[in-house]
């Protein structure tokens, strides 16, 4: 589990095809805007004079790419970028995307967001065909599969469509070939987001629309579930294909609205900020309480706290000052320092909480260890009561489609009832939003939702290895 006790999502992808020779720089800016989706590694591959140049490494986008390194992408009109958080494969340079794979007549570059649940079967199947692998991530498998199927189908788009038809799980893909062609694919469920942007010089695709704002593009819509989008020579074509993943009860990951996405993004037609604000409204209706102030846990609880305040009439105030300059590699040498590490990032604002009854709003409770320290810090700072409100239901089930909620043993809600959790974290009361309340808050989304981590209802299939040959025909 993530050190800060939040679910972590796999990656960010970005692709651009423009008439100006600045694609790599645009991809860099796009990845900076998407850095929240992955901080372990970053990479950019650009088509430069019909050859693909790829540079990547471990670290933040700004750490991997200096101005000098960006200069290696001279005169590029097509580029693909990737920011990684590892849920499949370790945090090593070999596992950072995008992946470039050679085939008989060219090269293909692939950036992938999601989790392909039959990656191991596909890897073994491809190894039987003579392919070699150098990393341990499912993204390398996706790239190799696409390259193999391009050769088999004798066409880039046909090959990628055939490869997508063999994959199961969650995948939003951005691909480029050495012929100034950008291709975007979203799985048949639409589990992870993939948006389309447009400006006078061309098109871009990204995990979230906030990347377009940073690059001078306007949101033009979403890649639909089971859709293949091809951008070439300033033209965009959209083709719906038959991809797996349309099982009842599954759809877009609702946790994108709860936590993963930036609040200034619009995904599937719904503002992320509006969804979170609506969750706060629902929480106040479902779990009212007498209190003096509403405080959100920075940053993911702030928008729901706005909604809770508006509905309840309880004023909202900043409860914490956040230190934004503690690096990812900050070291806590002793157990005591590790236990108080939250205080280094979130320091209670005594002026707003001392002697007051506080409604504390956050997006989720996974293990409970971090929120326990936050509640304790408020009471140590003088809060007379702390009433915890959570804008997602309790986590009861692991997720296999691109987050690191990997085991029920790590989920506090599987071990304790709500009253027990409240006592364990030191809260005077605890209320989680209901499934119905969360769904209603996200009613503006154009797709059905996946809520399997809350309900256990999942339908994405894992095909047996022996059926792969049939699917490849």
Separation of alpha carbons 283 and 6, rounded Å: 20
Q: What are phi and psi of 332, to 5 degrees?
A: -110, 100
- Mode of pairing for the β-strands spanning 293-296 and 357-362: parallel
To which residue do tokens 């309790």 refer? 394
On whether the CB atoms of residues 34 and 95 are closer than 8 A, the answer is no
Catalytic pick from 11, 210, 295, 399? 11
CA angle 22, 25, 29 (to 5 degrees): 135
Catalytic status, residue 11: yes
CA angle 202, 209, 61 (to 5 degrees): 90
CA angle 165, 166, 172 (to 5 degrees): 65
Q: Which residues are 181's β-sheet partners?
A: 232
On whether the CB atoms of residues 101 and 108 are closer than 8 A, the answer is yes
- Which residues, at least 6 apart from 317, have a Cβ–Cβ distance to it below 8 Å? 293, 294, 295, 349, 352, 353
**Quick count: other Cβ atoms within 10 Å of Cβ 187?**
27
Q: Which residues are 293's β-sheet partners?
A: 358
On whether the CB atoms of residues 413 and 385 are closer than 8 A, the answer is no
Nearest to 197 by CA among 207, 187, 185: 207
Tell me the three-class secondary structure of 251-311, residue by residue.
CEECHHHHHHCCCCCEECCEEHHHHHHHHHHHHHHHCCCCCCEEEECCCCCHHHHHHHHHH
Q: In Å, how far from its chain's centre is CA 311? A: 29
Catalytic residue set: 11
């Amino acid at each position: 589990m993530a050190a800060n006790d939040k679910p972590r999502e796999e990656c960010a992808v970005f692709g651009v095809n423009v008439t100006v020779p600045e694609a790599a720089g645009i991809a860099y800016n796009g990845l900076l805007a998407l850095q929240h989706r992955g901080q372990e590694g970053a990479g950019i591959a650009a088509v430069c004079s019909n050859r693909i140049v790829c540079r990547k490494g471990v670290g933040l986008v700004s750490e991997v790419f200096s101005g000098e390194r960006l200069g290696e992408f001279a005169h590029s009109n097509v580029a693909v970028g990737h920011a990684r958080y590892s849920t499949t494969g370790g945090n090593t340079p070999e596992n950072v995307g995008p992946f470039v794979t050679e085939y008989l007549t060219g090269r293909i570059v692939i950036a992938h967001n999601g989790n392909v649940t039959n990656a191991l079967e596909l890897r073994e199947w491809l190894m039987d065909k003579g392919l070699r692998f150098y990393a341990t991530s499912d993204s390398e498998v996706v790239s190799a599969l696409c390259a193999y199927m391009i050769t088999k189908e004798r066409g880039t788009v046909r090959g990628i469509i055939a490869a997508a038809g063999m994959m199961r799980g969650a995948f939003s893909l951005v691909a480029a070939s050495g012929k100034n062609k950008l291709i975007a694919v979203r799985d048949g469920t639409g589990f992870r987001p993939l948006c389309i942007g447009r400006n006078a010089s061309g098109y871009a695709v990204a995990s979230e629309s906030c990347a377009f704002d940073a690059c001078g593009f306007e949101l033009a819509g979403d890649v639909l579930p089971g859709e293949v989008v091809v951008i070439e020579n300033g033209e965009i074509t959209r083709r719906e294909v038959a991809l797996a993943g349309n099982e009842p009860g599954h759809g877009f990951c609702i946790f994108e609205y709860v936590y993963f996405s930036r609040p200034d993004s619009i995904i599937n037609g719904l503002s992320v900020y509006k969804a979170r604000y609506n969750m706060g409204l629902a929480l106040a209706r479902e779990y009212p309480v007498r209190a003096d102030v509403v405080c959100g846990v920075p940053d993911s609880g702030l928008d729901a706290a706005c909604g809770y305040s508006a509905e309840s009439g309880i004023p909202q105030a900043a409860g914490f000052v956040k230190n934004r300059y503690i690096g990812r590699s900050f070291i806590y040498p002793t157990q005591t320092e590790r236990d108080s590490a939250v205080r280094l990032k979130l320091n209670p604002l005594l002026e707003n909480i001392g002697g007051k009854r506080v409604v504390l709003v956050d997006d989720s409770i996974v293990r409970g260890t971090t929120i326990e320290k936050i509640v304790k810090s408020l009471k140590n700072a003088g809060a007379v009561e702390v009433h915890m409100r959570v804008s997602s239901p309790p986590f009861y089930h692991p997720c296999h489609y691109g987050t690191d909620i990997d085991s029920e043993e790590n989920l506090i809600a599987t071990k304790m009832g709500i009253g027990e959790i409240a006592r364990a974290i030191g809260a005077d009361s605890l209320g989680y939003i209901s499934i119905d309340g969360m769904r209603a808050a996200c009613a503006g989304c154009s797709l059905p939702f996946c809520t399997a981590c809350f309900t256990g209802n999942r339908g994405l299939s894992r095909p047996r290895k022996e059926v792969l040959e049939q699917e490849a025909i």
